[in-house]
Amino acid sequence: MENQALRDEKTILLEARKKLGLTQTQVAEKAYITLRQYQKFEGGERKLSSSSFWMASKILQVLELDVTTFARGGYASCEPMNTVEDTEKNGS
């Protein structure tokens, strides 16, 4: 059975990349990593959350995803989830 966190990470990366209309090559080039390194993250062979902070933050920056939100598990897709704090701020 596939690890839920790994599936979610690769889904988040794939959805964010497609939302921006970028290819895997473009993401890799903009993040200053090799194409194969990026493919391992998006393909689920490697977890972005267990990579170096530098690498993870560069990829997330290219994909316009917030590093803190990602690290806290705040993305269900490439859109951030509402947190309890968000709900309290908005009065909902």
Whether this prediction's pTM lies above 0.85 is answered by no
Q: How many CB atoms lie within 10 A of CB 57?
A: 17
Provide the domain limits for residue 13: 4-90
List, for residues 53-71, the tens digit of each pLDDT value. 999 999 999 999 999 999 8
Q: What is the reported pLDDT for 26?
A: 98
Residue 41 has pLDDT above 90, yes or no: yes
CB 34 within 8 A of CB 60: no
List, for residues 8-30, the tens digit of each pLDDT value. 899 999 999 999 999 999 999 99
CATH of the domain at 53: 1.10.260.40
